[in-house]
Amino acid sequence: MLFAMSRHSSVGMKPTYYEFFAGGGMASIGLGAQWRCLLANDIDPVKAAAYRDNHPGHRFVEGDIAQLTAGDLPGVADLAWASFPCQDLSLAGKGGGLSGARSGVFWSFERLMRGLVEDGRSPRLIAIENVIGLMTSNGGRDLETAAAAVAALGYRVAMFTLDAAHFLPQSRPRLFMIGMRNDVMSPTIASDQRSEREARAVERLMRRLGPAFVDIRPPAPPRRNTDLVDIIDWRAPTHPRAQTETLLGLMAPLHRARVEERRLACKGRGERAVGAVYRRMRTNVSGGRVQRAEVRFDGLAGCLRTPAGGSSRQTLLLIEKGEVRSRLITSREAAALMGLPDGYLLPDRYNDAYKLCGDGVAAPVVRWIAATFIEPILAHGRGRVAA
């Protein structure tokens, strides 16, 4: 056992939580100082170092979650948060789903929760975050399987999607699953905010889980008050001109026209503009595969991803005084896109910092979910849910 356990409840004190697949501790930042971390865990040594640097008062266990047991988890937590790896569930992955080597670690998390149930210390709430690809992975069966596994532990389950673009200048839609222990009251929050794909996933969950599924839909989030241009460091070095021209040359006519339109508008008005660029493989008119650079000027960065290769690192087009320059997004800009504070200590190496951000959960999204769902549920106390 890693720590001496306490069975005292957190009622009347700060609510408590475990943070699994913790990365750099973005869920902790979102929950805020009004919460108390009982234990955090991640296997990545670089992320572990960042977590310790930025959360020095937290108990952190570095290592494989598969090696943890329920006896290693101290106390009785109000919440267990798990942002488990998405590689086998995302569109960029290989489709292994919950049987994949990376995303399959969900079952190690489920085993820990089952151990807490058997020990009489189950968290009042479980929050799971992942890519929206979980809704369609293996024809939707992976989502059903994960939800059924949580329900089998003695929880009622809710599911919804939320895009970080409501809070930050980054397009980052994610799926959230909230498990509410059966002796915990459910909130009465609902709206009509639901995509067609999400509605189909909810219908499948209703059929699979029956009364164990809670039809909760989040209200409309607040409107974002910042755009990508607002977080840009205009002093950061840019690419040589030839490299920018090569990037522009990879654009299809439509995207090249977008750049020229913005360039002329900025030149005439004396304004600045920022476009976010990803390189992608596309099919050309002859059926072959060709690399293309695609740009967006909607005030949002594309979804940050881990830098497994050059194509997955996001590039910026900076337009100022009629000139177009390019560069990679800086690590500090990536941190801002995740809602991390200016004083957050990032890894020294660029790829390490970018990976930490790309693998994380946006902190303002966690704060909104906590304020909208989790904290009101906890405030109900230990009332009994009607059958």
Question: What average pLDDT does range 284-293 have in this prediction?
Answer: 87
Domains contained in the chain, number = 2
Same domain, 130 and 80: yes
Of the chain, the percentage scoring pLDDT greater than 70 comes to 87
CA angle, residues 310, 314, 315, in degrees to nearest 5:
95
Are residue 260 and residue 240 in the same domain, yes or no?
yes
- Is residue 86 located within the same domain as residue 134? yes
Domain of 244 in residue numbering reads as: 234-329
Q: What is the mean pLDDT of the chain?
A: 88
Same domain for 211 and 295, yes or no, is: no
Q: Does residue 11 sit within a domain? A: no
In this predicted model, what pLDDT tens digit does every residue of 309-362 receive, in sequence order?
444 689 999 999 889 999 999 999 999 999 999 999 999 999 999 999 999 999
The answer to whether 190 touches 209, Cβ cutoff 8 Å, is no
In a domain, 352, yes or no: no
Q: Compute the distance between CA of residue 180 and CA of residue 150 in angstroms, rounded to an integer.
A: 9
Share of the chain above pLDDT 90, in %: 70
- Domain final residue pick, 289, 310, 329: 329
Under a CB-based contact definition with an 8 Å cutoff, are residues 306 and 312 in contact?
A: yes
Q: Residue 128: what are its φ and ψ, rounded to 5°?
A: -120, 130
Whether residue 243 has pLDDT greater than 50: yes
The verdict on 203 and 265 lying in the same domain is no
Residue 266 lies in a domain: yes
Please determine, for residue 45, whether its predicted confidence score (pLDDT) is greater than 60: yes
| pLDDT > 70? residue 279 | yes
Query: Is residue 105 predicted with pLDDT exceeding 90?
Result: no
| Amino acid at residue number 76 | V
Mapped onto helix, strand or coil, the DSSP state of residue 293 is strand
Residues 181 and 283 in one domain: no
Q: 93 pLDDT exceeds 60?
A: no
Residue 79, in any domain of the structure: yes
Predicted pLDDT of residue 277: 95
Is residue 216 situated within a structural domain? yes
Q: Is residue 277 part of a domain?
A: yes
Average pLDDT over residues 29-43: 97
Q: Which two tokens stand for residue 169?
A: 């200048």
Does one domain contain both 173 and 144? yes
Q: pLDDT-derived band of residue 97, with 50, 70 and 90 as boundaries?
A: low
Are both 178 and 270 inside the same structural domain? no
d(CA 205, CA 200): 9
The residue that leads in pLDDT, 311 or 154, is: 154
Determine the Cα–Cα distance for residues 230 and 225; give it in Å rounded to an integer. Answer: 10
Query: What predicted TM-score, i.e. pTM, was given to this entire model?
Result: 0.89
pLDDT at 222: 85
Residue 308's pLDDT band, with cuts at 50, 70 and 90, is: low
- Which three-class secondary structure state does DSSP give residue 289? strand
163 and 264: one domain? no
Q: CA-to-CA distance for 220 and 137, rounded, in angstroms?
A: 26
Both 156 and 39 in a single domain?
yes
Q: Is the pLDDT of residue 141 over 90?
A: no
Q: Are 232 and 224 in contact (CB under 8 A)?
A: no
Residue 198: give its domain's CATH number. Answer: 3.40.50.150
Q: Are residues 99 and 155 in the same domain?
A: yes
Residue 262 lies in a domain: yes
- 383 has pLDDT over 80: no
For residues 173 and 166, give the distance between their C-alpha atoms in angstroms, rounded to a whole number: 10
What's the CA gap between 64 and 47, in Å, rounded? 13
* 161-170 mean pLDDT: 96
